[in-house]
Amino acid sequence: MAHNLLQGKKGIIFGALDENSIAWKTAMRCVEEGAQIVLTNAPIALRMGEINKLAEACNAPVIPADATSMEDLNNLFTKSMEHFGGKIDFVLHSIGMSINVRKGKPYTDLDYDFVHKGMDISAMSLHRVLQTAFKLDAISEWGSVVALTYIAAQRVFPDYSDMADAKSMLESIARSFGFHYGVKNKVRINTISQSPTRTTAGSGVKGFDGFITYAEKMSPLGNASADQCADYTVTLFSDYTRMVTMQNLFHDGGFSFTGVSREVIEAMEK
Ligand SMILES: NC(=O)c1ccc[n+]([C@@H]2O[C@H](COP(=O)([O-])OP(=O)(O)OC[C@H]3O[C@@H](n4cnc5c(N)ncnc54)[C@H](O)[C@@H]3O)[C@@H](O)[C@H]2O)c1
């Protein structure tokens, strides 16, 4: 059910790869709530062609941008402002990739070239996006930026490998830039720490099936779905959350504050 929460707002959505992507669902929800959007992804991801379906459904242009390229990001923000005829009200950063995780490298045997690449794509890219917008003065007053993260930034999940370090950095950038952008222009910046979700990025983690079931049994409300994450993100883009900034917000059905659940104890007793 739509409530026109984003009526008149304009946003950029990074990271819709296919219809399972959290960014895909968020793009659909933003448009249902009255927003106009621009879609973007790395040129290599766009070659799959899936995003054109979303672009059609959302009546949105697709502007390619590798989130590690300052030239691409400059072009993206400039072209988006031209398209909208003004500034941007919200940005979703839904980008993550670790070559070490993808290649099954354990945390004690990392390839550092892969670490560099993974950090740039998964964490530094948020700084790149924000710095580009900041310099172009591209985000309106009371604008909102959301990046997606995972609880491995606070607690150890061994097979999440170097993505855990990337997420810690991502959350730190959201806090630090949130201060500066808040002072400059009242722009708020938050991270949403989402439950494990079946997507291309999520399923790349070793043992994902067992893990998602464990999280489901540990969470009093169960795992939060991608659709529910999209709903939550809409609230953060809306005017109802104007004083929320520099926060890491758990969207995980209560997983983060649960020590153990009866179901997990019972499974241990068998
Ligand atoms: N799936 C989960 O279990 C889960 C849980 C918590 C947080 N997250 C986070 O949610 C976000 C979205 O992931 P998802 O689960 O929807 O998976 P996804 O694979 O659908 O999305 C990841 C996106 O990152 C994009 N990307 C990779 N390299 C890029 C680059 N250089 N430039 C621009 N874009 C690039 C990919 O093309 C893809 O669209 C990620 O930050 C992920 O870490 C996912």
- Give me the chain's average pLDDT, please: 96
**Pocket lining: 38 vs ligand 1, CB cutoff 6 Å:** no
Distance between Cα 77 and ligand 1 center (Å): 20
Distance CA 190, CA 56 (A): 29
Q: Name the residue of 66, 192, 199, 229 to mutate for ligand 1: max ligand atoms within 8 A of Cβ.
A: 199
Residue 211 confidence (pLDDT): 87
Integer CA distances (angstroms), 100 to 33, 90, 212, in order: 38, 31, 21
In order, the DSSP letters of 198-224 are -SHHHHTSTTHHHHHHHHHHH-TT-PP
CA angle 247, 249, 253 (to 5 degrees): 170
Ordered domains of the chain (ranges, CATH): 10-269 (3.40.50.720)
Tens digit of pLDDT for each residue in 130-179?
999 999 999 999 999 999 999 999 999 999 999 999 999 999 999 999 99
Residue nearest to atom 29 of ligand 1 (CA): 42
Distance between Cα 217 and ligand 1 center (Å): 24
Question: Buried (b) or exposed (e) across 88-104, using 16+ Cβ within 10 A?
Answer: bbbbbbbbbbbbbbeee
- Closest atom of ligand 1 relative to the 202 alpha carbon: 1
Distance between Cα 97 and ligand 1 center (Å): 7
Residue 135 confidence (pLDDT): 98
**Pocket lining: 166 vs ligand 1, CB cutoff 6 Å:** no
Tens digit of pLDDT for each residue in 64-96?
999 999 999 999 999 999 999 999 999 999 999
Residue nearest to atom 22 of ligand 1 (CA): 95
**Pocket lining: 69 vs ligand 1, CB cutoff 6 Å:** no
**Pocket lining: 96 vs ligand 1, CB cutoff 6 Å:** yes
Residue 78 confidence (pLDDT): 98
- 203 Cβ contact partners less than 8 Å away, ≥ 6 residues apart: none
Q: Name the residue of 14, 76, 145, 148 to mutate for ligand 1: max ligand atoms within 8 A of Cβ.
A: 148
Tens digit of pLDDT for each residue in 206-255?
888 888 999 999 999 999 999 999 999 999 999 999 999 999 999 999 99
**Pocket lining: 46 vs ligand 1, CB cutoff 6 Å:** no
- 174 Cβ contact partners less than 8 Å away, ≥ 6 residues apart: 126, 145, 147, 189, 190, 191, 246, 248
**Pocket lining: 22 vs ligand 1, CB cutoff 6 Å:** yes
Q: Per the structure block, which two tokens stand in for 152?
A: 């491995």
Residue nearest to atom 36 of ligand 1 (CA): 15
> What is the percentage of the chain residues whose pLDDT exceeds 90?
93
Which DSSP state fits 155? S
